[in-house]
Chain A
Amino acid sequence: MPDSLSRAIRWDTVVGALLIVLLLLSFSFVDGFGNALNLSFLLGNTLPIALIALPMTLLVVSGEIDLSVASTAGLSGAVMGKLWNEGMTIETIIPVCLLLGVVCGLVNGLLVTRLGLPSLAVTIGTLAAYRGIAQIVLGSDAVTDFPSPYLDFAAGRVGDSFLPQAFLPFLVLLAIAVVVLHATPFGRSLFAIGASEEAARFAGVRVKRAKLWLFVTTGFMASLTGVFWALHYASARYDNATGLELSVVAAVLLGGIDFDGGKGTLGGAVAGVFLLGALQNVMSLLNVSAQSQIVVTGVLLVVSVLGPRVARQIAVARAGRRAVTSAQTS
């Protein structure tokens, strides 16, 4: 009984359930929610957060964090715009930008693993540095005239359905991330690293190498997001995606990923991302003001951590009482 109970109150399951309930309610009661156009907007605008949330979840499970993701995205967008203005082909530019993301991640990773600096501090630093470099690179320009096949891909839908074209690659990436985190030895070792780095090292896990990989992957995904962002919104500016890191962090936290490391599931993180995205969409359709939306987001976050805690305490108390009564009767 406590077993099934504790499984039921696992927060990622709750978030998933909340998402489903929200979707059902919105489909039935919110005007304009269910049509293909709105759903494609919803998915398209949530995609950048979702894309970065994938590697971020792995990173947080291993006990680290990367706050520089939005700046990395901005930097690759800026470089993309700059190179495009210089007349380079987009087919060369995109790989260059992705490579740049890898370098950004590598810098973070090396500072964290080689110098042993705390990732929170390092990535607050690179958050400013990368954005600053983006500003130096692109300055006040806003580049909008990317080739239309690319723009159409980033903004377009699959036929007349609600799925953005870019959603399909995301699903593939999601599948890869789920398998890596939950089914491979590498993913398993991430949980051990997050929960106790020293014990993981004593068990032969290559802690530094694993973390370096994660930072590099995060940089790569962030720059992929930056490229997608610039194409999706047809605008490359140095301040693209400013503040996105907080949205990602909020969504991942909402999905039940523990920032002390060692706990969480990708399912929870992705549910958190789309729960926040859908909620905002619904609230806008219902004409809830931006200010009230902020409050709702905040309350949701607080509840997301208080809820499971309270539920668990109730469960524990109940189990304890039962044990006492059985001890007395036996």
Chain B
Amino acid sequence: MTVATPPHAPATDVAKSSGTRLVDRVFRMRELAILAVFLVMIVVTQLGNSQFLTEQGIKDLLLNATILVLVATGQSLVVITRNVDLSVGSTLGISAFAAGTHLHGGGDPVVAVALAVLLGIGCGLLNGLLVSLGQVPALVVTLGTLYIIRGIDSIWVGSRQITAADLPDSFVDFGSHGLWAVPWLALIALAVLVATAYYLKHFGSGRELYALGSHPEAARLAGIPVRRRVLFAYTVCGALAGLAGALYLARFGNVDSGTGTGYELTVVSAVVVGGVVFTGGSGSVHGAALGALLLTSINSVLPALGVSSVWVLAINGILLLLAIAVDRVVALRVASALKKRNARHA
């Protein structure tokens, strides 16, 4: 800062206009990079296979992304607070089965979904309580609950499974129908996403999530109820994993004790690709959602281009590396732009 500012020269006008634009551009840029990668990928695929973007094709793309988008949205909330929830796959599995058993017993679909969400909230609360009250590393605790919830799920479910035949037709149809090419499930995910993004940007408690992820000690000193916020983030994450479980049931019509196994790595990948930083405090849910869309689309694009499934895994991994490398380059650009701005002039 400079010492000699003329007393009545509000330099703030200049700062505001250019500054706002810069910061906004900066944050949008990272997401734009992912969006660009995504669009290029889609266009290339469409050029290679004209069947790709038919009504059915678009519907498939959206449906594929839906569940991951939901879980990734919840996960980003937790990651923004400098924590992580590895148990989402297990939560998804157990809530999907709970919803399934309810429907199998002739229950109401709305109650079934509510049941799944409630169970998810329960798992989220468990994680949140352990992490925030116990003040122990989230990675270990949620790796533990990953095992615990999965184990309980397996003991409860045993070798039973819920198949499409056990479910009301309306529920299964709901999983694949929609408004023209936009499935109902995708609309639900979109609504959740928009609501979460709005909350994070425009509500005090949303901003506090960023604050406490950015510097936990400072957050405590600023009087932010750290534990309550962390608990909240985990609860939302669990609830969304539960909701995703119910939607999984609608979409795949099939759940057993293994449902959602290994999902945590996919979710974490989506969040990371979406530019949510693991050390907390930065990133956005729409970034994470874009990351999820990108990741699931790769799995549709490659078969549509006729790439042998042997190659899919390797290409997936390399694209993931590319995505984070691109993100990093963008971030570095941003940093140097900030530095230049920082060069003040008397």
Contacts and interface: CB of A to CB of B under 8 A. Distances in A.
Interface of A: 67, 111, 115-118, 120-122, 124-133, 135-136, 139, 243, 246, 249-250, 253, 258-260, 289-302, 304-306, 309-310
B141 A302 contact: yes
B328 A126 contact: no
B314 A135 contact: yes
Nearest to B269: A124
Most chain B CB atoms below 10 A, which of A128, A130, A136: A128
Interface in B288-326: 310-318, 320-321, 324-325
Contacts of A250: 143, 147
Contacts of A304: 140
A128 B314 contact: yes
- Interface bracket on B: 35 or more
Contacts of A294: 147-148, 150-151, 154
B313 A132 contact: yes
Contact of B135 (A124, A135, A297, A309): A309
A115 B325 contact: yes
Given A125-B324, A129-B321, A292-B155, A298 B148 contact: yes
A132 B137 contact: no
B313 A299 contact: no
Given A128-B313, A131-B313, A132-B313, A301 B143 contact: yes
B268 interface: yes
B134 interface: yes
Contacts of A124: 265, 268-269, 272, 320
Contact of A120 (B143, B151, B278, B314): B278
B144 A301 contact: yes
B135 to A, nearest CB: 7
Nearest to A139: B310
B152 interface: yes
Interface in B277-295: 277-279
B82 to A, nearest CB: 10
A128 B143 contact: no
Contacts, number: 145
Given A115-B325, A295-B147, A302-B130, 11 more contacts: A118-B277, A124-B265, A125-B269, A129-B316, A249-B143, A259-B137, A294-B150, A298-B145, A301-B141, A302-B141, A309-B134
Contacts of B328: 115-117
B314 A132 contact: yes
A303 B310 CA distance: 41
A305 B137 contact: yes
Most chain B CB atoms below 10 A, which of A125, A246, A292, A310: A125
B65 interface: no
A287 to B, nearest CB: 15
Interface in B148-194: 148-152, 154-155
B98 interface: no
A249 B141 CA distance: 12
B237 interface: no
A300 B315 CA distance: 37
A253 B135 CA distance: 16
Contact of A125 (B136, B143, B146, B318): B318
26 contacts: A67-B265, A111-B321, A116-B328, A118-B278, A120-B268, A121-B269, A127-B317, A128-B317, A129-B316, A132-B316, A136-B314, A139-B310, A250-B143, A250-B147, A260-B137, A291-B154, A291-B155, A291-B257, A294-B147, A297-B144, A298-B147, A298-B149, A302-B141, A305-B136, A305-B140, A306-B141
Contacts of B137: 258-260, 305
B155 A117 contact: no
Contacts of B23: none
Contacts of B149: 298
A116 B332 CA distance: 10
Contacts of B278: 118, 120-121
Nearest to A71: B317
Given A301-B147, A305-B134, A305-B136, A295 B314 contact: no
B265 A259 contact: no
Contact of B311 (A67, A130, A132, A289): A132
Interface in B106-143: 130, 134-137, 139-141, 143
A292 B294 CA distance: 37
Contact of A133 (B277, B314, B321, B325): B314
B257 to A, nearest CB: 8
Contacts of A126: 317, 321
A153 B147 CA distance: 34
Nearest to A297: B147
B137 to A, nearest CB: 6
Given A253-B139, A295-B152, A128 B316 contact: yes
